[in-house]
């Protein structure tokens, strides 16, 4: 029996843009995703955009009952900036205020610990038109949006997150083409990363000032970077990969400053962001109260094939190449490596290098394409998901036994949700969504998760 500490939290995470959908007359403004789908629907799997998603906005009263049925003691979603403040700044949408307050009150009434995230890859398009996260105006707009949320909902929510996986829009939107604006610009990527961190720190300051008894964090995908070999070149590649992809937000969020080696690397590439000493003081003096940690798969890297002078057009490929490890354990329905020990390694890194700060595993999950083929007698028999969770929880349990300061486990996700360019290609939920009828049905894992929560272990 794997028993977890008393008070350990069990639940799931989702986000506003991936679950709410858009209803006629709801007052929601256009986000970067709404705009991109309008301009290039062919980029989205099966042409499914963010307009419908899982209709939580329309059906939340019934959907919230599934939280109870699946044994939740905690739940995390996000407030859509473009729903609450349609232009990003200025007028607040009162329909959104009423919607979110009713949602939060209903979840609280069930005795479920509510955790609220402020940004999950969704920027009001009115701000994107002005340069998005490359523009410092967006930083101040986010600070004001965060303060508005603390003031409007602070009586219902006392645990907050600033950003979910803030490195992802940097990599996917400025070093790749998976998020809008899909431009390859290393220097812009660095500026966007810095501006995002500054915005996060400003939100932390606002939270502590407005509600001193509230707690606030950031959610980071702290994927360990494993080198291909013990060669100095591969080890260096792994160290630099971790600097960019984990420590670029982890260190300033927890320690209040950037790693010196990372700063030097960026300086050598002539890519330092525009910053002021006053901004660095804001980052230094407004660190998080705890951490949210997402983990899905390991990052395996090797020495870069590019060995000449820094080529800014290459971006991160100057420093490391990805490596596919032969014989790896894999999720055949999604194509991702499964490496449970990654959770243990993250936990030990936090314990040894970040003062064992309190943290929650805010996302972990198994995506499955074509999951309907596992349906028997009207229910998806997702034993593979149950096994996936169990095997990761064994590593989390081992980490806690060895002193990790982890206080909860949150699966991605609650109800099958829309997922960016992949739309509904891969399903992650404890509850199945029929995309045509919007009918929602518990999967086998949903019943199992309730037992897990009630037993505080398995």
Q: Tell me which residues are annotated as active site.
A: 165, 363
Measured N-to-C along each axis, helices 94-109 and 136-153 cross at an angle, to the nearest 10 degrees, of 50
Please list, in sequence order, all residues whose beta carbon lies within 8 angstroms of the beta carbon of residue 155, skipping any fewer than 6 positions away.
none
Distance CA 266, CA 136 (A): 19
Distance CA 360, CA 429 (A): 19
User: Residue 242: how many CB atoms within 10 A of its CB?
Assistant: 23
- Residue 9 phi, psi dihedral angles, 5° rounding: -95, 140
Distance CA 149, CA 133 (A): 20
Residue 181: cis peptide before it, omega within 30 degrees of 0: yes
Cα 139 from chain centroid (whole Å)? 19
Distance CA 320, CA 300 (A): 10
Tokens 């009434």, residue located? 109
- Please, are residues 193 and 166 in contact by the beta-carbon 8 Å criterion? yes
3-class SS at 408? strand
3-class SS at 401? helix
- Please, are residues 280 and 194 in contact by the beta-carbon 8 Å criterion? no
3-state secondary structure labels for all residues of 392-436: HHHHHHHHHHCCCCEEEEEEECCECCCEHHHECCEECCCEEECCC
Distance CA 119, CA 87 (A): 15
Torsion 370-374-380-381 (CA) sign: negative
3-class SS at 293? strand
């Amino acid at each position: 029996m794997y028993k977890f500490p008393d008070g350990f939290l069990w639940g799931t995470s989702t986000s506003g843009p991936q679950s709410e959908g858009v209803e006629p007359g709801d007052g929601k403004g256009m986000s970067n995703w709404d705009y991109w789908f309008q301009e290039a629907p062919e980029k989205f799997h099966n042409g499914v955009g963010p307009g419908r998603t899982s209709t939580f906005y329309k059906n939340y009263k019934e959907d919230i009952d599934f939280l109870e049925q699946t044994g939740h003691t905690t739940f995390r979603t996000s407030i859509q900036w473009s729903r609450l403040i349609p232009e990003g700044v200025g007028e607040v949408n009162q329909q959104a205020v009423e919607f979110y307050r009713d949602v939060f009150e209903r979840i609280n009434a069930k005795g479920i610990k509510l955790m609220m995230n402020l940004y999950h890859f969704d920027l009001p398009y009115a701000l994107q038109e002005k340069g998005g996260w490359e523009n410092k105006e967006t930083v101040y707009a986010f600070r004001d949006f965060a303060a508005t949320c603390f003031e409007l909902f602070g009586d219902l929510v006392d645990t907050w997150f600033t950003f979910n996986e803030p490195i992802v829009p940097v990599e996917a939107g400025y070093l790749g083409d998976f998020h809008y604006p899909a431009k390859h610009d290393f220097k812009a990527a660095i500026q966007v990363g810095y501006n995002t961190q500054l915005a996060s720190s400003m939100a932390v300051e606002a939270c502590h000032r407005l509600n001193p008894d509230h707690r606030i964090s950031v959610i980071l995908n702290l994927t360990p970077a494993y080198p291909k070999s013990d060669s100095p070149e591969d080890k260096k590649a792994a160290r630099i990969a971790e600097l960019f992809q984990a420590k670029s937000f982890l260190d300033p969020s927890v320690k209040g400053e950037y790693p010196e080696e990372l700063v030097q690397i960026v300086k050598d590439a002539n890519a330092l962001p525009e910053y002021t000493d006053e901004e660095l003081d804001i980052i230094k003096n407004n660190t998080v109260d705890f951490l949210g940690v997402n983990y899905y798969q390991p990052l395996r890297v090797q020495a870069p094939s590019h060995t000449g002078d820094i080529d800014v057009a290459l971006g991160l490929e100057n420093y490391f190449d990805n490596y596919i490890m032969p014989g790896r354990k894999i999720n055949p329905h999604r194509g991702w490596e499964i490496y449970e020990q990654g959770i243990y390694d993250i936990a030990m890194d936090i314990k040894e290098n970040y003062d064992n700060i309190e943290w929650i595993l805010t996302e972990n999950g198994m995506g499955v394409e074509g999951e309907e083929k596992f349906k028997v007698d009207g229910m998806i028999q997702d034993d593979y998901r149950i096994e996936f969770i169990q095997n990761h929880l064994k590593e989390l349990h081992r980490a806690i036994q060895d002193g990790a300061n982890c206080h909860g486990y949150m699966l991605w996700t609650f109800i099958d949700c829309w997922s960016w360019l992949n739309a509904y290609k891969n399903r992650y939920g404890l509850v199945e969504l029929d995309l045509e009828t919007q009918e929602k049905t518990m999967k086998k894992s949903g019943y199992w998760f309730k037992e897990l929560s009630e037993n505080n272990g398995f």
